[in-house]
Structure 1
Amino acid sequence: MKNILMEDFNGVIDGYRWNSYKDLLKPAFGNGCIADIPGQILANFGISTGQETKNHRSLMEGKHDHFIFLLLDGFGFSTIKYSLKKHSMKHLNNFADNSGVKLITSVFPSTTSTATVSYHTNMHPVEHRIVGYTSYIPEAGTVCNMISLTPLGQKEHCLLDNGYEMPWIEHHGTIYNKLQENDVNSIFYLPYAIRNSGLTRITGNGAKISPYYSVSQMLTSLRQDLSSAKGRTFHFCYIPTIDTISHKIGPYTQDTALEIESIFMLLEEQLIKASDLPEDTFISISADHGHTVPEEGQKIDLSVDRKLKSFLNTPVVGDPRASVLRVKDGMIETTMDYLTEKYEKYFIPVLSKQMLAEGFFGTPKSVNGDTSFLGDIILISRNSTSIFDSSLKLIDPGNQANTLIGMHGGLSCDEMLVPFFAREIS
């Protein structure tokens, strides 16, 4: 890890920059993006994905019978840099010194719902169609939380229980379905509280769900599952605590650094040093996104802009750092001009179709069918700006999104750049 910190940082990320705005990054699909990881996991087990290209960048080498993947929510490179500079990170450094380490990009939006569906399905965002923390779902006639898959303010009413289906489920499925078809047993470890969430129900299909109450308990279950394994196995471990602390306390704090270090300490003590793991066990670790910290004076509530609201069909949805507008017929050009003139200092308005054509939601060959779920205009936050529509509190009074400290969803280096670790452990 120290080697990466000492490299020319700009040189490392030059290939990721957005040509139109050099301080922002573009998802590097096929050349170092988290969306490449599931395809390479499948390839580890000899399963072809049909996505290989001559430009495809390999993140891991060899084939292994037992593969562990840890998804550390919110484990961004900027948070790692802060932690290493300000705190003694003995266990993180130990793990990194014995691993291959690369820097890769998140997807866009750089948010959990979008990224995790890509992880579990080997699909680009334009294919799986979950592009934000909240989204307007025409079939439901309201704005929905895309992690619980429920209308805002109605957490007990999952869309899946009311006839709503993701269009890709039947024909594409998850990576676990593909592994199952190839005689690889999959186990998905996740916190007990979200074992039955809407997103878990669609992304965990084909895997054995193993809920846990603590990271220590999860690692105990993982070690037991490995030691008793018969045949080839894949283990997907989701740990949300770094993200939770980054949201509530901040990504650049001692609290977050200690949480990172505690995870790597437990990993070392309970797994790396274990003597009962099967031969040919491999582990990789990455994240879904990083965090940035918006300034209090740059939180923009678009619900108070009556002129803008007169142009829109629905409330502003998406994420505080990447928001989506649905515009009334014939008003897109007028809306773009208005946004550019009034809010140039705070965010960049871009036509959704333009971002789609430039590959922000996936490679051109993956674009297929209706793309109305992308809305009409995407607002990309500049610097330390965050964007809200407080009118959504009318239907979801408990929503605290505008009080979060760490935020994500946008294209800044802090949000987009994440690590990828890979190593054998037996």
Structure 2
Amino acid sequence: MFLHFFKNTFFIVAVTIVSCISPSTHKSPSHASAEAKTTPIPKKDKKLVLGANQTEAYLPLLKGKKVGVVGNQTSVVFKENGGYTHLIDSLISLDVNVTKAFSPEHGFRGKADAGEKVVDGIDPKTGVPIVSLYGSNKKPTQQQLDGIDILIFDIQDVGVRFYTYISTLHYVMEAAAEKNLTVLILDRPNPNGHYIDGPILEKKHQSFVGMHPIPIVHGMTIAEYAQMINGENWLAKNLTCDLMVIKMKNYTKQTSYSLPIKPSPNLPNDQAINLYPSLCFFEGSPVNAGRGTAHQFQVFGSPGLDQNYFPYRYTPQANDGSKHPKNEGKLCYGRDLTQERQLSKIELKWLLEAYQHSNNKESFFTSFFSKLAGTEKLQQQIEQGWTAKKIRTSWQEGLETYDTMRQAYLLYP
């Protein structure tokens, strides 16, 4: 199903007529909620069809145009036999003129460490020039967009505020709006799309790991999120990006989806992706969250935690996912969460017990912690001895307001 959202008009290309939302026309929350409740839920036996796999829907839009692709190793078209072809390879084989690629954090092939500078280059298979959006510039320059008629955005997200692909999305939309280019989004599932949770980001803590006033777990697909960026006027200078969306078929917020390709080097499996919103807080502390092990974001530990309280031991070592992991070569005491049940909330108990059983509480939190949390309040609450239940209660008003806002942009029940 293909939706085209103009700034002030609707344009629908599909065999079946569907309702949609213009990004510049914010529907009332009550209307959006009622509409979501009456949307038929796809039957379980219907196969999920990703946006990228609906070639017949977007190929006519690309013919005769110079195309730029914002993508990485997850930008693929899956085959019936279980294999896949990279989107760029697929487009070129169909005589689409792909003139340039843009890569987010971790690079075009997803090999770079978190936070590592990614440089420009050439795709060795196709010869297409690659512009890094995680190096000297995180936003495409107008010169870099010269000679492009349309931008495709196709990246697998995990639905978490500090996962920087949505920040890249923001800057791509902003640059495209300034250049008067259309952004075509090939939608993909959100593996953490079944819930929303966490504190709302405060404006003074805006950064590339948190650009918008949303909770940590936002509960939207990448296309829904793009609509919200437009609809809430989050782009600079009140710009609105011209969006086209290829919706998924037979997808709901409760659709279980196991990612066949790692979205980044340190999210190797479903367990890591599910635990990521809860364990990433440790990135703003001396605690290692599994980087430098085979169980990234599935274990945590530190030499500075009480070894009598924490039974699990491991020693982080340099590996493909992390060239210099935190506490490299040091014995860490912590917990193994590889067998933990699937979460439908941010679990605070591990953060609280790590702080409570730290040998140096005064230096437990770094300045990065508040950027991840989006607020200084969480650190203060932990230092003041708040329980997890009390902390979670303090999030509820913000979550309810956010949930009302996001209803206007949802494409799936």
What TM-score comes out, normalization by structure 2 length? Answer: 0.33
User: Which structure has greater helix proportion?
Assistant: 1
User: Which structure has greater strand proportion?
Assistant: 1
